[in-house]
Amino acid sequence: MTADYKPEWNDPKNPELCSSVVRKGEELEVQASLKKNSRFAKRSALEPSVNQLFDGVLNGNRGLLARAITLIESNAEQHFQKAQELLRRLLPFSGHSIRIGITGVPGAGKSTFIEAFGMHLCSLGLKVAVLAIDPSSSISGGSILGDKTRMEQLSRDPRAFIRPSPSAGKLGGVHRKTRETMLVCEAAGFDVILIETVGVGQSEVIIRDMVDFFMLLVLTGAGDELQGMKKGIMELADAIIVHKADGDNLPKAEKTRHEYNRILHFLQPATKGWVTKAHTCSSYTKEGISEVWNVIKTFEAKGKASGIFDERRKVQSREWLHALIADQLHYHFYHHPDIKNLLPKLENEVIAGEKTVASAVEILFEKFLS
């Protein structure tokens, strides 16, 4: 223990003037606790509490909404519980928007369309949230930047909120995060959620499972396009939009629309009771943009009257539950210490033909479940 001492600001000629003494140990403790507190203060400034986020999202505070989404997107384990707590509380306030998925090959004009379409919705007084999932963005790194400049007008509109894609992580992939982000945006009072996804892989199927209305943007030059177009993706769509129907392209767009309608006639409709049709539109001239919104409004009204709209959302919730279970199983399986040890060895044995795949799986699951 260090001895107590009179502080140096005490008058040396008149030491009894000041009665206080400084006790060394305590001084250090006070400093340490001050330090701790200031670090705590800094951290809490960086990371708002669930209460703050909850209030902020419900009040439509953009900054706190963005932070709530960042929390959901976080791959850090300590954020998972906090994010789930926030979602649990926000869930009752979600569900009141119309959820629209937009897909198409790169270059189809999805981002430009969302800007034009989003501006139209804002002009009607609607609040629009845009979530962009772009599997290529993690590789090229450039496309988000491209989209930002493309959606420049929309991003400046106070009624709009644009959020680029989250990256996949260990606590659930893109679909969990996108879905949860969508719910948070709904709780924040957005009327329309637009989700952009590149139609080149699995992502369009995942997005189809979380939206009410799904549209496919296509280009003219249908000859080749239609040949290469997978029937599967056309069967997911509630509308096919022949985009860039402007200038010299206009007659071709009209022709393409007819061709799509002819083919759609032979396909399964994506939504019971709804006939998927092809439409033309241009994000440059804005021709056809308001018609697309009318189609969606009709779709919503019809689906709500028949019950199909709500039925789909129920099915989607159930599917979501199963998707999350699969996510969790996947995560826990591959992070199990025994599995991590055993897997490389079994992989080699399977590759060398010393073990069958099925028997390797059996061994792994015996370990995992024991």
DSSP string over 175-235: HHHHHHHHHHHHHTT-SEEEEEEETTSSHHHHHHTT-SEEEEEE-S-HHHHHHHS-HHHHT
**Dihedral sign (CA 210, 215, 218, 222):** positive
Nearest to 209 by CA among 225, 191, 217, 197: 197
Residue nearest to Mg ion (CB): 111
Distance CA 284, CA 281 (A): 9
Please report whether residue 284 would count as binding ligand GDP according to CB under 6 A. yes
Partner touching 104 among ligand GDP, Mg ion, none, CB below 5 to 8 Å by kind: ligand GDP
**Number of neighbouring beta carbons within 10 Å of residue 367:** 15
Among 107, 142, 223, 269, binds ligand GDP (CB under 6 A): 107
Which residue's CB is nearer to Mg ion, number 137 or number 316? 137
**Dihedral sign (CA 202, 203, 204, 207):** positive
Cβ of residue 111: shortest distance to Mg ion, in angstroms?
3
Distance CA 171, CA 74 (A): 9
Cβ of residue 159: shortest distance to ligand GDP, in angstroms?
21
Residues 110-169 that bind ligand GDP (CB under 6 A): 110-112, 150
Please report whether residue 175 would count as binding ligand GDP according to CB under 6 A. no
By CB under 6 A, which span of 20-28, 102-110, 233-241, 322-330 interacts with ligand GDP? 102-110
Q: Which residues contact 204 (CB under 8 A, 6 or more apart)?
A: 101, 103, 197, 214, 233, 236
Partner touching 106 among ligand GDP, Mg ion, none, CB below 5 to 8 Å by kind: ligand GDP
Among 47, 235, 246, 349, binds ligand GDP (CB under 6 A): 246
* Number of residues near ligand GDP (by CB under 6 A): 15
Q: In this structure, what token pair is assigned to residue 247?
A: 């200038």
Cβ of residue 211: shortest distance to Mg ion, in angstroms?
17
Which residue's CB is nearer to ligand GDP, number 271 or number 282? 282
Cβ of residue 232: shortest distance to ligand GDP, in angstroms?
19
Distance CA 322, CA 316 (A): 10
Interface mask toward Mg ion for 92-121; x: CB under 5 A: ------------------xx----------
Please report whether residue 137 would count as binding Mg ion according to CB under 5 A. no
Among 175, 244, 257, 279, binds ligand GDP (CB under 6 A): 244
Distance CA 239, CA 291 (A): 12
Which residue's CB is nearer to ligand GDP, number 284 or number 331? 284
Which residue's CB is nearer to ligand GDP, number 53 or number 108? 108
Q: In this structure, what token pair is assigned to residue 12?
A: 């040396």
Please report whether residue 282 would count as binding ligand GDP according to CB under 6 A. yes
Please report whether residue 283 would count as binding ligand GDP according to CB under 6 A. yes
Distance CA 52, CA 269 (A): 44
Partner touching 178 among Mg ion, ligand GDP, none, CB below 5 to 8 Å by kind: none
Nearest to 227 by CA among 178, 279, 263: 263
Which residue's CB is nearer to Mg ion, number 135 or number 173? 135
Distance CA 80, CA 85 (A): 9
Q: How far is CA 293 from the centre of its chain?
A: 22
Strand (E) or helix (H) holding 242: strand 239-242
Among 106, 135, 169, 189, binds ligand GDP (CB under 6 A): 106
Which residue's CB is nearer to Mg ion, number 111 or number 256? 111
Distance CA 130, CA 142 (A): 18
Q: Which residues bind Mg ion (CB under 5 A)?
A: 110-111
Q: Which residues bind ligand GDP (CB under 6 A)?
A: 104, 106-112, 150, 243-244, 246, 282-284
